[in-house]
Structures are given as C-alpha cells and as structure tokens.
Structure 1
Amino acid sequence: MTRRLFVVSVAAALCLLTACSPKYNWRDYASPDAPYRVMFPAKPSTFTRNIDLDGMQVAMTMTAAEVDGATFAVGAAEAPDTARAQAALEAMQVALVRNIGATVTSSKATASEDRATRDVDATGTRQGVPMRLAGHFESRGKRFYQVIVLGKTQALPAEQVEQFLTSFKLP
C-alpha cells in the first residue's frame, strides 16, 4: 500500500510540473553568423539555403523556433552592395505575403543612405486556414535581415509577437 501511495504521489507531482511548464520559454539568442541578438520563444534551429531575391542569389541563414504551429524566425544574408541589400527587403516581404495569399493590413518603411527598414502586418489563408504574418525587415550596409512571425491567426498572441519583434537588436 505504501509503494502504491508513493507511485501515485510521484505521478501527481509530475503532472503538476508538466502543467506548470510555460508554453513560451523565452531565451536570448546571439547569432554566430551575423551581428544580431533576439529572444526566441523556444529552442531555435538554424539552417542555410540559397535563395533568389528578384535575381539576386544569396545564401540566407534562417534561425527559427515553433510554438503551437507559429513560426518565429530570423533570416540573415549579405548582398553585393548596400542598394541591393535595401532592395532585398521588399523582395522578401512580397514573397512572404504571396506565400499565404495575404493582404497587407499595415506597413511602414524608412530608408537612409546605409540603412532601411520595413514593418508589415498581413493576413491571408493557407489551405483554407486564416494566417497572419508580422514582420520586420532591415538592412544595414550590405547585410539584410527578416524577422517574422507566421502562423494561424489564433496561434499568434499579440504580446508574444510584439516581444519577439522588438527583441531583435543590431549593434
């Protein structure tokens, strides 16, 4: 009887610990490949692949984490020059918005001689499921970045999206 009580107690304790684990386990991430820092809501994975941005071939390194089907990702690459890095921002935004058949609901862009930013919020559908894209695109010199959250609309709590996007920092 004592052994049975012990097993039940341990099982109950494990259930409580599991129930208390946070869905979002925020962690600081510093890229070893590009000069940025960001907070990811789960342990991220990284991969590099070649992409075509309006005729410019670049190797983009993507670091991403997923929570409840929502993807939190940062992509980083380098263009041959500053002008092409700035042009890449729009190309990335257009491709991502097109990917979910979205309509841009808000956008803002700024540019200077060696820096440009674009912020976008878009809604669309993928396979009949309502989707949302929230993104920040930035270039500094020849380097450019995409910081995005993409997922089912109901799986993207505003405070989590905001935390991720505003945590992205360049030196």
Structure 2
Amino acid sequence: MSTRSRMGRATLVAAAAVFAACSPTFNWREVPVGDAGVIALLPCKPERATRDLPLGTESIPVEMAGCKAGGAIFAVAHARAQSAEQAELWLRAWHAATRSQLGDVPVVESPVVLARAASSPAPARLDTGGNDPAAGAAATHVLWFAHRRLDGGASVYQATVSGVPSSTDAVGTFFEGFHIP
C-alpha cells in the first residue's frame, strides 16, 4: 500500500471519528403522529409500524413511531376513535392494560396539564422507578392524552419511555415536546 493510500485511509478514519464524536446521543426532531396534526419530539429517527391492539372487547389499529437513544426506548402510539366516549373507553382500557403488564412494580400516577389536549379523557401520566433487569423490571414512563378532531372524533395517544435515558432531562423533553394543534 502506498504512503498516499495510507494517509488517505488515515484521514478517512480520523474524519469518521470526528463525525462520530459530534453525533449527539439525543438528536431531537419533530415527527408527525397520526393525521390530526399532532407533532411529537423524538430523540432519534423513528421506525414506524401499525398493529392491532386488544383494548377491552375490541381490537383497534394503532400506528406507532419509536426509536432507541441514550439507553432508552421512546415511542408514541396513536389510534383514531370515532367519538369522545370511545376515546375515553380506549384510554381507560389502554391504561389498565399497561398497569397489568407492569405487575407488582410500584407506580406513581398523576394527572397532567398538556396544552390543547382534550380535557376528557384527561391526560394522565404513569411512572415506575424500577430498573432491575434481573427482576425483569425496567423504568417506565407513560403519558396518555386525547385530541379532539374537527370531524367530531378524537385521536388517542400513548407516549412511552422504557429504560433509563443517559440524559436526566430526556423524559421531560419528550413528554413536553408534543405540539397539539
């Protein structure tokens, strides 16, 4: 290998190291969620999926966007309800399903004030402090809210952070980063 080739390769390796060092762990970006104009702030480029979620006696299609950054998974799920009453039932069922998945892990639940979110069903938050992989418990933070659509229906959302992010303000940035029209 020529000296010039070695220098070129060394330069490329050095440049790659510099760019990697400049790459932030949390690269916050605005991501549209659903079709009602709600924007989420996610710390990385999300992957998207749609799946059916059993809620009570129904199975509903849920759109999801999520990614992993700084040691935690950040995700937003969205479903489109036909009415405020249906949204209320779905969020209650979603909340109950999440609680049952957590088992005996201690949780703290609290009401939330979220600008422009529907007041009924009221926004709510759930937090666990657990992060014991041996016990199968990871820290979990969940935010539920609804948004009334112009057509009379409501969109329901569940935002989740699973794990302990390497930045102490990441959960707050994620939950406070929702823009609701």
- How large is the Cα RMSD of the aligned pairs? 2.6
Q: Percent identity?
A: 27
Structure 2 counterpart of 1:161? 171
* 2:128 maps to 1:132: no
Candidates 130, 150, 161, aligned match of 2:162: 150
Relative to structure 1, the CA distance from residue 56 to residue 35 in structure 2 (aligned partners, 3 Å threshold; closer, same or farther) is farther
Cα distance between partner residues in 1 of 2:82 and 2:118: 18
Preserved contact between residue 115 and residue 138 of structure 1 (Cα < 8 Å): yes
* 2:111 maps to 1:104: no
Structure 1 segments unaligned to the other structure (5+ residues): none
Candidates 129, 144, 158, aligned match of 1:123: 129
Specify the code of the residue in structure 1 equivalent to 2:142: G
Counterparts of 1:16-165 in structure 2, within 5 Å, are 16-31=18-33, 33-101=35-103, 102-108=105-111, 114-124=120-130, 128-141=135-148, 142-151=154-163, 153=164, 155=165, 157-165=167-175
Question: 1:88: how far off?
Answer: 2.2
Cα distance between partner residues in 1 of 2:89 and 2:134: 30
Structure 2 segments unaligned to the other structure (5+ residues): 149-153
Runs of 4+ more than 6 Å apart: 110-113
Preserved contact between residue 37 and residue 180 of structure 2 (Cα < 8 Å): yes
Query: What SS does the aligned partner of 2:124 have?
Result: strand
Question: Residue by residue, what CA displacement relative to the aligned partner does 1:47-102 show, whole Å, maximum 9, x if unpaired?
Answer: 11111112233111111111244211111112343123123223222322332433
User: Aligned residues, how many?
Assistant: 169
Preserved contact between residue 100 and residue 126 of structure 1 (Cα < 8 Å): no
Relative to structure 1, the CA distance from residue 148 to residue 118 in structure 2 (aligned partners, 3 Å threshold; closer, same or farther) is same
Relative to structure 1, the CA distance from residue 112 to residue 15 in structure 2 (aligned partners, 3 Å threshold; closer, same or farther) is closer
Cα distance between partner residues in 1 of 2:76 and 2:20: 29
Question: Residue by residue, what CA displacement relative to the aligned partner does 1:97-131 show, whole Å, maximum 9, x if unpaired?
Answer: 33243321242268977442111212345652541
Please report the TM-score for the alignment, with normalisation by the length of structure 1. 0.82
Query: What SS does the aligned partner of 1:23 have?
Result: coil
Please report the TM-score for the alignment, with normalisation by the length of structure 2. 0.78
Specify the code of the residue in structure 2 equivalent to 1:121: D
Preserved contact between residue 77 and residue 157 of structure 2 (Cα < 8 Å): yes
Cα distance between partner residues in 2 of 1:14 and 1:61: 35
Preserved contact between residue 58 and residue 79 of structure 1 (Cα < 8 Å): no
Cα distance between partner residues in 1 of 2:166 and 2:7: 42
Cα distance between partner residues in 2 of 1:133 and 1:52: 20
